[in-house]
């Protein structure tokens, strides 16, 4: 009897707070653009849609629930994909601001950075020099002196709110210490298994993007969590698909999307999130693996279901 092929969850991070509108004409900004991009990514094979919001006039990241309300119901109506709402928002926001959308809309999944860290975006000033809005340049320049704050108290607050709402988490781990922070909350009963661990590589301030860094993350997670987690790979920028390939060979799921990388090939901007999802799908199928459907992802992560959200 043939052995069933492993199912791989594709997460698509549709917009986000790292890149700015001037960096790519394909970055979704308005609620209509975010809706269309999310639906197309779902149709391409993304089981999970990781969603931020932006001010439709300036493109600045926003956690205003009124902006999220302009695209969340439309995405739910048009797809069966799992909606994952950010609690990261922007490093310049307070934890209270960052939690508003997940508190109001009670999604199946929310993202959660597992520690405070330096968050250096300023090297992008070497690549991009022309900006439409002054906040874009300031956003990058100010990251020379920026700590993304997520203290143990902040993490506990976010976990308790999510647990009360039946929301599970995409635990974003930018370094080995973040895995140990997560283990601490598992031991306290606040982080629930099966965990969904998103290992993030290649952002200045976090772990690097060398293959040995990826293997170190995997070994440490295995030692701390055993079989009680689903592992996913997020490679920033040009590391997106190479690290996804390495992770797939070691049993990971994958995350792509214009939040994490604007590129589809060296020097070539991705024209859409769906284009990156399609390329990830080709990697998965080329390894004789199968892309998980949204309902298969729900089963793998033990999610509450689309009918239990508040949008």
pLDDT digits (tens, 9 = 90+) for 152-191: 999 999 999 999 999 999 999 999 999 999 999 999 999 9
User: Does residue 279 have a pLDDT over 80?
Assistant: yes
The pLDDT value recorded for residue 233 is: 98
pLDDT in tens, 23-55: 999 999 999 999 999 999 999 999 999 999 999
What value does the mean pLDDT take over residues 214-241?
97
Q: Is the Cα torsion angle 196, 204, 235, 100 positive or negative in sign?
A: positive
The pLDDT value recorded for residue 33 is: 98
pLDDT in tens, 199-219: 999 999 999 999 999 999 999
Tell me the average pLDDT of the chain. Answer: 96
Segments making up each domain of the chain, as ranges: 7-304
Q: Is the Cα torsion angle 202, 208, 213, 217 positive or negative in sign?
A: negative
User: Does residue 93 have a pLDDT over 90?
Assistant: no
Structure-token pair, residue 113 = 């950075």
State how far Cα 270 lies from the chain centre.
Answer: 17
User: Alpha helix (H) ranges present in the chain?
Assistant: 31-44, 65-68, 72-78, 95-105, 134-141, 152-165, 176-187, 211-225, 240-249, 273-286, 294-301
Q: In the beta sheet, which residues pair with residue 233?
A: 199, 254
Q: How far is CA 264 from CA 43, 94, 253, 273, in A?
A: 18, 33, 19, 10
DSSP string, 39-75: HHHHHHT-SEEEE-EE-TTT--EE--HHHHTTTHHHH
Cβ neighbours for 59, distance < 8 A, ≥ 6 positions apart:
20, 21, 27, 29, 132, 133, 136
Q: How far is CA 308 from CA 9, 76, 180, 185, 311, in A?
A: 21, 12, 31, 25, 9
Whether domain 7-304 has CATH 3.20.20.70: yes
Q: In the beta sheet, which residues pair with residue 82?
A: 48
- Proportion of the chain above pLDDT 90, given as a percent: 95
Give the three-state DSSP class for 150: coil
User: Does residue 2 have a pLDDT over 70?
Assistant: no
User: Alpha helix (H) ranges present in 115-233?
Assistant: 134-141, 152-165, 176-187, 211-225
- Give the model's confidence band at 1: pLDDT under 50 very low, under 70 low, under 90 confident, else very high: low
User: Does residue 86 have a pLDDT over 80?
Assistant: yes
Q: How far is CA 115 from CA 119, 150, 288, 294, in A?
A: 11, 5, 36, 29
């Amino acid at each position: 009897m043939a052995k069933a092929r492993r199912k791989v969850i594709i997460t698509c991070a549709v917009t986000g707070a790292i890149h700015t509108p001037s960096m790519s004409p394909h970055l979704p900004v308005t609620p209509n653009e975010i809706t269309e991009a999310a639906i197309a990514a779902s149709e391409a094979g993304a089981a999970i849609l990781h969603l931020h919001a932006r001010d439709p006039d300036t493109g600045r990241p926003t956690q205003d629930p009124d902006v999220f309300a302009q695209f969340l119901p439309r995405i739910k109506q048009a797809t069966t994909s799992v909606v994952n709402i950010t609690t990261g928002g922007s490093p310049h926001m307070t934890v209270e601001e960052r939690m508003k959308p997940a508190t109001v809309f009670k999604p199946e999944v929310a993202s959660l950075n597992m520690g405070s860290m330096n968050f250096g975006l300023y090297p992008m000033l070497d690549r991009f020099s022309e900006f439409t809005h002054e906040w874009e340049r300031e956003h990058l320049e100010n990251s020379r002196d920026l700590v993304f704050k997520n203290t143990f108290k902040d993490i506990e607050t976010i976990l308790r709110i999510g647990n009360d709402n039946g929301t599970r988490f995409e635990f974003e781990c930018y370094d080995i210490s973040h895995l140990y922070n997560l283990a601490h909350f598992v031991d306290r009963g606040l982080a629930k298994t099966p965990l969904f661990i998103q290992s993030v590589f290649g952002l200045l301030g976090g772990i690097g993007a060398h293959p040995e860094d990826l293997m170190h993350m995997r070994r440490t997670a295995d030692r701390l969590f055993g079989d009680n987690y689903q592992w996913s790979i997020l490679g920033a920028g040009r590391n997106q698909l190479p690290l996804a390939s390495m992770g797939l060979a070691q049993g990971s799921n994958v995350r792509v999307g214009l939040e994490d990388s604007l590129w589809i090939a060296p020097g070539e901007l991705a024209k859409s999130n769906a284009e990156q999802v399609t390329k990830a799908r080709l990697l998965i199928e080329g390894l004789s693996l199968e892309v998980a459907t949204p309902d298969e992802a729900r089963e793998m992560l033990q999610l509450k279901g689309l009918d239990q959200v508040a949008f």
